[in-house]
Amino acid sequence: MNLPLNAAPKSDLLASPVVELRQYTLKPGRRETLIGIFDNHLIEGQETAGMTIIGQFRDLDRPDMFVWLRGFDGMIARKHALAAFYDGPVWAAWRNAANATMIDSDDVLLLKSAWPGAGLDLSGSQRATLPDLEKPSASSDLQAIVVIRIHHLQPGLEARFANDFQTAALPVLAAFGASPLAAFVTEHAENSFPRLPVRAGENVFISITGFDSTEAHARHEAALAAFPRWQKLEQAARWEFARPVEVLRLAPTARSLLGQPTPA
């Protein structure tokens, strides 16, 4: 799962110059219904329309949240791909069932790579074939997880924060057991598909890391908290934050590309 974030792109699957991070608030108890619809019926239709469905996840700390990432070849490509899907037959067939699970689907961040080579490398990823029935993992403690940290920054500080993260923070995270996967900042271009809102006025830096289990992530966090150099880095960065960092601990669904073991 490890991606050398300071490297140049290695293939055309260094996914998507434009990425959406989408967080859906669902009606109580309806997450498994939406995951079943999504994994069984909505992935291929979106990808046929020109998107990359990067990953979809259960939020381990919020039982009624569904989090997912999708990518596009650019803002114009995003406009055409979204129009093709949302005006097409797949969404028409499943729209009512999917929407019936949701309270809110407008928490969307529009993103781009934080620096060249910081995007998601999906070249070794393989999507599972369609399952008969999507079920939760029997033991989430033993399942690989993806951790997304959303740093809300003061305006104009994304490039500076990204540089500091790449040069100072990233080596420490890797040394303490994280698998760095990607880093993004806000894409400030105008929303090319206004039918789907995105959060305007955001200034974020987002890091995505992988861990072998929730226990591995907990050990990593404890080790960082006890490391003086990391404490100094965190203290130095606090003035750059507009509000507290959000941490999403995410378990990939059966058909997520991101977060699955790489085939041997």
- pLDDT tens profile 136-191: 444 455 689 999 999 999 999 999 999 999 999 999 999 998 999 999 999 999 99
What is residue 208's three-state secondary structure? strand
Residue type for 176, please? Answer: F
Q: Which residue type, as a one-letter code, is found at position 227? A: F
**What's the whole-model pTM score?**
0.90
Per-residue model confidence as pLDDT tens digits over 183-232: 999 999 999 999 999 999 999 999 999 999 999 999 999 999 999 999 99
The answer to whether residues 156 and 242 touch, using CB atoms and an 8 Å cutoff, is no
Report the alpha-carbon angle 175-236-173, nearest 5: 15
Rounded percentage of the chain residues whose pLDDT exceeds 90: 83
Nearest to 148 by CA among 69, 36, 71: 69
According to the model, what pLDDT value does residue 143 have?
Answer: 87
- Which of these, 244, 168, 174, lies nearest to 204 by C-alpha position? 244
Tens digits of per-residue pLDDT, 41-93? 999 999 999 999 999 999 999 999 999 999 999 999 999 999 999 999 999 99
CA distances from 230 to 8, 12, 165, 166, 173 (A): 27, 34, 12, 14, 9
Radius of gyration of the chain (CA): 18
pLDDT digits (tens, 9 = 90+) for 50-59: 999 999 999 9
Q: How far is 162 from 240, CA to CA, in rounded Å?
A: 12
Q: Which domains does the chain have, with CATH numbers?
A: 14-125+141-252 (3.30.70.100)
Point out which residues pair with 247 in neighbouring strands. 149
CA 98-247-182 angle, 5° bins: 85
Q: In this structure, how many other beta carbons lie within 10 angstroms of the beta carbon of residue 69?
A: 28
CB 259 within 8 A of CB 146: yes
Q: Which of 264, 261, 253, 260 is nearest to 32 (CA)?
A: 253
Q: Are 81 and 47 spatial neighbours (Cβ–Cβ below 8 Å)? A: no
Two structure tokens written together for 74? 């650019």
